[in-house]
Copies of this chain bind each other. A is one copy, B any other.
Amino acid sequence: MSYTIKEGDPLILLDVKGNKILIIANKGNRKIKGLGVYNPGELIGKHYYENIIIGNKKYLILTPSIFDKVSTIERRAQIILPKDGMFIIFYCDIKSEDMVIEGGTGSGALTILLANFVRPKGRVISYEKRVDFAKIALKNLENAALADYVDIKKRDITESIEERNVDAVILDIPNPWDAVKNSFKALKFGGHIASYSPTINQVEKTVNEMRKYEFLDVTTIETLQRKMLVGERGVRPSFDALGHTGYVTFGRKVK
């Protein structure tokens, strides 16, 4: 990425309070949350890590990191957080060139992570039966400059998966057990499945279904994170947080 901003480049505007606005340097006035009506085309030709004034506020222009991209998305459905998403990337061995199936897309938070790691040559095919979710997800992917690596299919992943020989299938639906058979058929030998669910009962049904297909290393993990705060009065864990989000179940097709 060049240090001069070109048309279509993604960027973060960072204000002095630490708030971040993720935008694409495209010409044309539009309403941008936190900025009001603005033409991001004005940023073309500026440089990353340069300060600019918009209105009467000072901003530092940053290249957006994957952390920035995920943390500034518009959320509609409950999202899969990076603590879980990154462990999916690990356990499913997602890497550049992979073909990954996802269902459902939701707000696209995990889709962004997946797209980030399959590029430049890989592809994410994401099944989402709800049109409103698909729309939000696409917008989030475009803002993250990752839409080029993703196809969103407006279909129900429990009905069928058309692709074959895929590297991984990632499920985030209320009834993942109904998609295990389709996932098995879609996966290549050595391919990985992951399923994210908030309740234990979903985990139990999904694990039992995965066992029917003799997936290897079937494992369910809960990941918890908390911030440590370093202040003048000492160091302590954050008073917030560490709540439950969901369990992730993994398996690998080897037979």
Chain A residues with a Cβ under 8 A of chain B? 3, 14, 18, 48-49, 60, 62-63, 65-67, 82-83, 85-87, 89-91, 93, 95-96, 113, 116-117, 119-120, 189-190, 192, 198-204, 207-208, 216-217, 219-230, 233-245, 247, 252, 254-255
Contacts and interface: CB of A to CB of B under 8 A. Distances in A.
B192 A234 contact: no
B93 A67 contact: yes
A90 B208 CA distance: 31
Name which of A18, A90, A254 has the most chain B CB atoms within 10 A of its CB: A90
17 contacts: A14-B254, A18-B217, A49-B189, A62-B216, A65-B252, A66-B95, A67-B91, A85-B90, A86-B89, A96-B120, A198-B234, A200-B236, A201-B204, A202-B234, A221-B226, A223-B223, A224-B242
Q: Which 3 A-B pairs have the closest CB atoms?
A: A199-B234, A201-B234, A237-B244
A113 B247 CA distance: 23
Majority secondary structure of chain A interface residues (helix, strand, loop or mixed): mixed
A214 B228 CA distance: 18
Contacts of A223: 83, 223-225
A199 B95 CA distance: 33
B96 A90 contact: no
B86 A236 contact: no
Contacts of A120: 96
Contacts of A227: 219-222
Contacts of A239: 243-245
B87 A83 contact: yes
Contacts of A252: 65
Contacts of A95: 66, 116-117, 119
